[in-house]
Structure 1
Amino acid sequence: MDGQGEKSLDHAFFGQPKGLQTLFFTEMWERFSYYGMRAILLYYMYFSVAKGGLGFSPTTAASVMAIYGSLVFLTSVLGGYLSDRVWGSRKTVLYGGILIMFGHVVLSLPFGAGALFISIVLITVGTGLLKPNVSEMVGALYGENDPRRDTGFTIFVFGINLGSFIAPILVGTVGMDFNFHAGFSLAAIGMFFALIYYYFSGKKTLSIDGLYPSDPLEPDDLNRLVLEIIGGLAVFAAIIAGMWYFKVLSIDNFVLLLSIIAILTPIIYFVVILRSKKVTKTEHSRVLAYIPLFIAAAVFWAIEEQGSVVLALFAENQTNNNLGFLHINATWYQSLNPLFIMIYTPLFAFLWTYLAKRKDEPSSPAKFTWGMFFAGLSYLFMIIPIFLFGSSAKVSPLWLIGSWAIVEIAEMLISPIGLSVTTKLAPKAFESQMMSMWFLADAAGQAVNSQIVKFYTPGHEIAYFGIVGLVAIAFGVVLLLMIKPVKKLMDGVN
């Protein structure tokens, strides 16, 4: 029996292939470890040493958090390349998981700032290896015309959000109420469970094809790759040495350097794709159409990803978390993102299906436009409590809940739509690279974050929320005016 037939007969996990169960729990535990760590990392960096923290300034801690998130998505490009050309998806995911686990282990040890930066390297590279390839392996479970594919991805995404929802509550409570390093240990244990389950269950349920690269490197390609890596590292080391020589090497300036790299990378990618002779005239037009959508996505992620930075600071310092007998841990607010996604997903799925049947479903650029309006509105909403009660007052948790409820509407209008439109607009010769571009939108947005979050300081909250919110809405207006020309450039793609 051929592979297509075997796939169609596998209904062992809620009518889905058995391999989906393996990948569901692997990604659930991986997200548990990652978002558990992120829930307490900001507080660990800026809490005083007496409180178990590192004593960074809040602005430096916020900047490091933002560039950390940027690097995670930047390294996803590396993960996709190594999977396709060197290790295959199954080994790449395993190696990434091992790096992530050791990154959490390093954080769990009381070795100060040095351990923090070592863990950042391990976790960013590990997540970059693991995350894009797990998603690719889900798609590989299904035949080309298998009608279960969309449902399978829906189940898989639910697992992602389930792990992300539980983590801030469990890891956050242990980290904030007991000890930061104990919280990081819990994240390491979560990743350990993911690895054990993935390794043993994967042997039985995942395709052997994932053990081999789909487009293996030839010897000449490998030699050239090694030289390029060595050259890139040499240039990076020279820049660092120059910064040290001129006495400008600091955490803030190092973050600035990484931000510049994260912003330049997608720009270079677009130039390479648009100048390629492999891209047809129609594909060239579609890539041009993708550029304003990419910028909109970057602006959106710059706002959405501030939930673990700016809104986390607001949750700890400006929110009344003592409600009678109930004490709300500031990390618990990080669970609002996945909670609202799980609530909204079936509602939006029904909405798009209903509108499609009536032939009234808005185009992808229109959905992005509305997403920008909601993203900006979520920040303008945060001006209200500060205006009413002042920046020194501690306000009701309902303000944070309301802001998250609004921004997650924006995510439903941009994130899944962006994934879909990326695959539709991708030139055939750059299909994988275009999916990497989608991750780079998040990387670029968080790179911008690493610089602008420095302006979120006591007494300037209204200006910060107002300016960022209005920038998002202004870009939404620009995108609204560009809907027709963008649709024309999309050349038949909706």
Structure 2
Amino acid sequence: MSTNSVGEKSNTKESVKHPVGLYLVSFTIMWERFSYYGMRALLILFLTTQLIKGGLGLDTKSAGLIYGNFTGLVYLTPLLGGWLADKYLGQRKAVVWGSTLIALGQFALFTTHTKSMLYLGLLLLILGNGFFKPNMSSLVGQLYEKDDSRKDSAYSIFYMAINVGAFIAPLICGTLAEQIFAQKQGAEIISYGYRYGFLAAGIGMLIGQIAFMLLSNKYMKGIGKHPITKASTTDTKDSNKPLTKQEKNRIKAIFIMVFFVTFFWAGFEQAGASLTIYTKDFINRNMGSFVVPTSWFQSLNPIFCVILGPTMGALWVYLSKREKGDLTIPQKMSLGMILLGIGFLLMVGAVLQRGSAGDDVTVKANMMWLVGAYFLHTVGEMCLSPVGLSMVSKLSPPKYVSLLMGVWLFSSAIANKLAGVVASLMGTFTHMQIFGTIAGVSIVLGFMLLSLNKKLISMMQ
């Protein structure tokens, strides 16, 4: 492994290796994602499970709204946390603050027996995520010079670490909550150990934080230690130039696609909301004598991401070599929305399999409906998410890159809030109505976006 100083370039074979700092940042983000997704896998279950069974005993509507407000704010606070780090703290100090608040938030959830303690825990997690999330990604970029050819592969390693953390989190935290610390009477669970899942999530964050604090000075040198200096006179002069017509059209194209993407994420984020609630009661989770914990199904998306990543990358390369070339950005994003809709049609199939059973929890649907839905949702995500981030960075005028990236994040905040609202309606509308509506809206919007392809390509030139 290279021991060259951060950002140093060389023509030797050694230069293709990455600085140790990348692996430290990746290790830290892996444990933070473990912490977040371990908690998220249990949150809606904890909120809706009866008090006597180890939950808070909230009704579906209240739980859905709390879930939506929490996950929505998680995507808003990074705007503030990134700004504070750039101006006053430096990325590394912000990461330490963030990881401390996250760990405290998880430990607060571990001790939660009342709504007030729940809100305190969630607030600490929201604030901690705001400091942590934007600055870890920034640190990866700062480890390399601007034109370093290793940067793309560095972000691939970073992304892989995120998915590894997201994959193992529901398995470990879910097993603690629904198996090891669950109290059983025969085959029936009479009390869940959700709090121990939150405890594991907090310990995971501490592991990442301690490693980062002990090793960052050694392996990251001065990277991210101080706030970013003020812009140069040239940058200030460039920032005062008016936008050209072409730049205005590109910004309009970004906003149009952000509109469609908001609805995609609102459906996609049902993974931690309505899909989890439905899985617990109405999906047959038996594999022989073993009952698959509800939370484990949330590991499907990250493992599908890891498996499909190289395949999807190879597909785009193959398509780019055609005479027609690769699919356009709007085409890829519309495909993502349509696949999301088809995934929810599989959930309609699960509802149909149960027939007229309604709320009878003894009648279950085959789990392959759910696995198929998660698979299609993941393929849809990979058509849309990386393409969208690339689009914003490429089309944004230099002086508005951060602002428009913030708009992209803001769409996820709105989407997560909508996801919670949809989950809160599960007691009001039938599963067929909810899953069918999401499927229909996603597919219709996907084809609407596809019909705008030529117009958007013209605006993006």
| Equivalence for 1:439 | 409
Relative to structure 1, the CA distance from residue 9 to residue 163 in structure 2 (aligned partners, 3 Å threshold; closer, same or farther) is: farther
Q: CA deviation at 1:455?
A: 2.0
| Equivalence for 2:374 | 404
| Equivalence for 1:133 | 135
Candidates 338, 344, 362, aligned match of 1:373: 338
SS at match of 1:6: coil
Q: CA deviation at 1:458?
A: 7.5
1:488 and 2:458 are equivalent in the alignment: yes
Candidates 376, 385, 396, aligned match of 1:415: 385
Candidates 375, 386, 392, aligned match of 2:351: 386
SS at match of 2:376: helix
SS at match of 2:459: helix
| Equivalence for 2:202 | 188
- Take 1:10 and 1:81, find their aligned partners in 2: how far apart are those partners? 38
- Take 1:10 and 1:27, find their aligned partners in 2: how far apart are those partners? 30
| Equivalence for 1:328 | 292
Relative to structure 1, the CA distance from residue 329 to residue 8 in structure 2 (aligned partners, 3 Å threshold; closer, same or farther) is: farther
- Take 2:400 and 2:252, find their aligned partners in 1: how far apart are those partners? 14
State how many pairs are aligned: 432
Superposed CA deviations along residues 101-152 of structure 1, whole A, max 9, x for unmatched, are 1101111114421111001111011112111111111111122221111111
Candidates 43, 64, 71, aligned match of 1:41: 43
Superposed CA deviations along residues 170-227 of structure 1, whole A, max 9, x for unmatched, are 111112231222111111100000100111111111241411111469xxxxxxxxxx
Q: CA deviation at 1:13?
A: 11
Superposed CA deviations along residues 342-390 of structure 1, whole A, max 9, x for unmatched, are 1111101111112223352111111011111111111122111211322
SS at match of 1:210: coil
Q: CA deviation at 1:415?
A: 0.6
User: Where does the alignment leave 5 or more consecutive residues of structure 1 unmatched?
Assistant: 218-275
**Aligned 1:90-489 pairs, distance under 5 A:** 90-177=92-179, 178=181, 179-215=193-229, 278-358=242-322, 360-390=325-355, 391=358, 392=360, 393-457=363-427, 460-489=430-459
AA in 1 matched with 2:337: M
SS at match of 1:37: helix
AA in 2 matched with 1:446: N
- Note if contact 1:103-1:123 (Cα within 8 Å) is conserved in structure 2: yes
SS at match of 2:32: helix
Relative to structure 1, the CA distance from residue 455 to residue 290 in structure 2 (aligned partners, 3 Å threshold; closer, same or farther) is: same
AA in 2 matched with 1:400: L
Q: Please, which moves more after superposition, 97-106 or 391-400?
A: 391-400
| Equivalence for 2:188 | none
- Take 2:113 and 2:50, find their aligned partners in 1: how far apart are those partners? 15
1:6 and 2:8 are equivalent in the alignment: yes
- Take 1:192 and 1:277, find their aligned partners in 2: how far apart are those partners? 46
Relative to structure 1, the CA distance from residue 326 to residue 201 in structure 2 (aligned partners, 3 Å threshold; closer, same or farther) is: same
| Equivalence for 2:184 | none
AA in 2 matched with 1:30: E
Q: CA deviation at 1:320?
A: 1.1
Superposed CA deviations along residues 264-287 of structure 1, whole A, max 9, x for unmatched, are xxxxxxxxxxxx975333221100
1:55 and 2:57 are equivalent in the alignment: yes
Relative to structure 1, the CA distance from residue 43 to residue 159 in structure 2 (aligned partners, 3 Å threshold; closer, same or farther) is: same
- Take 2:289 and 2:321, find their aligned partners in 1: how far apart are those partners? 49
Superposed CA deviations along residues 380-437 of structure 1, whole A, max 9, x for unmatched, are 2211121132243211111110100011111001111011001011121111222222
- Note if contact 2:142-2:223 (Cα within 8 Å) is conserved in structure 1: no
AA in 2 matched with 1:302: A
SS at match of 1:208: coil
Relative to structure 1, the CA distance from residue 102 to residue 423 in structure 2 (aligned partners, 3 Å threshold; closer, same or farther) is: same
AA in 2 matched with 1:118: L
- Note if contact 2:80-2:130 (Cα within 8 Å) is conserved in structure 1: yes
Name segments (4+ residues, structure 1) moved above 4 Å. Answer: 2-5, 7-14
1:76 and 2:78 are equivalent in the alignment: yes
Q: CA deviation at 1:66?
A: 1.9
Relative to structure 1, the CA distance from residue 488 to residue 207 in structure 2 (aligned partners, 3 Å threshold; closer, same or farther) is: farther
Relative to structure 1, the CA distance from residue 121 to residue 7 in structure 2 (aligned partners, 3 Å threshold; closer, same or farther) is: farther
Relative to structure 1, the CA distance from residue 169 to residue 489 in structure 2 (aligned partners, 3 Å threshold; closer, same or farther) is: same
- Normalised by the length of structure 1, the TM-score is 0.84
Q: CA deviation at 1:452?
A: 2.5
Relative to structure 1, the CA distance from residue 417 to residue 207 in structure 2 (aligned partners, 3 Å threshold; closer, same or farther) is: farther
AA in 2 matched with 1:462: M
- Take 2:38 and 2:242, find their aligned partners in 1: how far apart are those partners? 43
CA RMSD of aligned residues (A): 2.1
AA in 2 matched with 1:303: G
SS at match of 1:146: coil
- Note if contact 2:50-2:56 (Cα within 8 Å) is conserved in structure 1: yes
- Normalised by the length of structure 2, the TM-score is 0.89
| Equivalence for 2:237 | none
- Note if contact 2:44-2:67 (Cα within 8 Å) is conserved in structure 1: yes
Q: Percent of counterpart pairs with the same letter? A: 34
Q: Which has the higher helix share?
A: 1
| Equivalence for 2:189 | none
- Note if contact 1:69-1:443 (Cα within 8 Å) is conserved in structure 2: yes
AA in 2 matched with 1:292: I
